[in-house]
Structure 1
Amino acid sequence: MNQPDDLLKYPIGRAKLPSEPLTGAERTALIQQIAELPAQLTVAARAVGGVGLEQPYRPGGWNGRQVIHHVADSHMNAYVRIRLALTEDNPTIKPYEEQAWAELPDVAATPITVSLALLESLHTRLVTLLHHLNEGDWQRTFYHPGNQRTSTLDQTLALYAWHGQHHLAHVKSLIAVD
């Protein structure tokens, strides 16, 4: 059942992870979402503007600056997790404290353009890697001790495509904030 805060917290809905292997067409569409995210996030951040990015996207939520830096932090972790899954047998990944990372001093002190550029370069590498995976690679796994779940790379692809769109919607919601 939806909570009152769900629409603000999850403007595109909660992530839905595939239980079966994705088709090639589904993977291509998700990879395209990941490829397009840095440019989309840059456009949205420019539309919001510097003052607007200091506003939270919901009561008690992060401000736009924190969201943008978080996307870069999160997707760096995803990239490493994917590489670990491709080179090790079901590795246990290291979770991180997202809220604590969002409150570190570099988040307020670093221009968002740094994380947007980082995201552009990171997604170039990530998309290149994803385009070169074979069918078996997509079923490789890693274990996340925080949620006590094993995830396939298909599920990871779906999660991070959703994650990018989820936070893009948060930033876009700040465009209307005065």
Structure 2
Amino acid sequence: MITDKLYALKFPIGEFKTPEIITSNQIETWIEDIERFPEEVENTTKKLSQEELNWVYRPNGWNIKQVVHHCADSHMNSIIRFKLALTEDSPTIRPYFEDRWAMLVDNNDNDLSSTLLLLKGLHAKLGKLLRSIKESELSSEFIHPEYGKRFRLDETIGVYAWHGNHHLAHIKQALKYKGKFI
């Protein structure tokens, strides 16, 4: 069982909860969060030293650079999931091993410049796609085999807005605690 302190370190903004009713205003706010995310990450990380990039946000958690690289990996997968759901009938998406990806050489690079460029372009493209989704398409869904459940696009927009905010909070948390939690 996760202690309260560890839970707060793992989920500094809480876990995502799907609203009972997802309004167009809520979707607009989520899309704005998604579009703003790369700039916020860049502003938070651009002056960090190599030592700071290696600070973790919680015990046994990823370091700052792994979090930034992970967001690019995750959000690349997200745009593919949206496109699959918009062009196929309830497709089954392919999950991936985030923890294994975090150990690859590109996710341990101290130079975040390529990843930040990727996030900027990816989020601009994702924002454009999300803004084009018609109300009737928001109920389109994909199947996530890892969870054995269907995800609607309106909910998924919220999940990815939360995901960015969640990891931005992790970065800020690592900086606040200077990678130490004792």
Normalised by the length of structure 2, the TM-score is 0.92
Residue 14 of structure 1 aligns with an amino acid whose one-letter code is: E
Q: Moved runs in structure 1, 4+ residues, more than 4 A?
A: none
1:90/1:169 CA distance change after superposition, 3 Å: same
1:99 matched to 2:116: no
Amino acid in the other structure paired with 1:142: F
**Is the alpha carbon distance of 1:47 and 1:173 closer, same or farther for their aligned partners in structure 2, counting shifts above 3 Å?**
farther
Question: Is the Cα–Cα contact under 8 Å of residues 55 and 175 in structure 2 kept in the other structure?
Answer: no
In the alignment, what sits opposite 1:41? 41
SS of the equivalent of 1:175 reads helix
Q: 1:114: Cα distance to partner?
A: 1.1
Letter aligned with residue 152 of structure 1: R
1:47 positional shift: 5.0
> How far apart are the structure 1 equivalents of 2:92 and 2:165?
26
1:11 aligns with 2:12: yes
Question: Within 2, Cα distance between the matches of 1:38 and 1:133?
Answer: 22
Which residues of 2 match residues 42-81 of structure 1 at below 5 A?
42-81=42-81
SS in 2 for 1:52: helix
CA contact (8 A) 1:18 1:158 kept: no
Mapped partners of 2:159, 2:48: distance in 1: 26
> Matches of residues 1-178 of structure 1 in structure 2 within 5 Å?
3-4=3-4, 5-20=6-21, 22-109=22-109, 111-176=111-176, 177=178
Instruction: Give the C-alpha shift of residue 48 in structure 1.
Output: 4.0
SS at match of 2:142: strand
1 CA distance for matches of 2:171 and 2:71?
Answer: 11
| CA displacement at 1:2 relative to structure 2 | 7.0
Secondary structure at the aligned position of 1:55 is classed as coil
Q: What is the rounded CA distance, in whole Å, between the counterparts of 1:113 and 1:42 in structure 2?
A: 9
Tell me which moved more, 42-51 or 133-142.
Answer: 42-51
Aligned-pair distance for 1:58? 0.7
TM superposition shift of 1:79: 0.4
Tell me if the contact between 1:53 and 1:174 (Cα under 8 Å) persists in the aligned partners. Answer: no
- The structural deviation recorded for 1:112 is 1.2
Q: Which runs of 5+ in 1 are unaligned?
A: none
| TM-score computed with the length of structure 1 as normaliser | 0.94
Aligned residue type for 2:18:
L
TM-superposed CA distance for 1:102, in Å, is 0.3
Work out whether residues 50 and 110 of structure 2, in 8 Å CA contact, stay in contact via their aligned partners in 1. no
Shift of 1:18: 3.2
Aligned length: 177
Q: Is the 8 A contact 2:65 2:109 kept in 1?
A: no
Matched letter for residue 71 of structure 1 = C
Any conservation in 2 of the 1:48–1:174 contact (CA below 8 Å)?
Answer: no
Across the aligned residues of Structure 1 and Structure 2, the Cα RMSD in angstroms comes to: 1.6
Per the TM alignment, residue 50 of structure 1 is displaced from its structure 2 partner at its CA by 2.9
Task: After TM superposition, give the deviation of residue 24 of structure 1 in Å.
Answer: 1.1
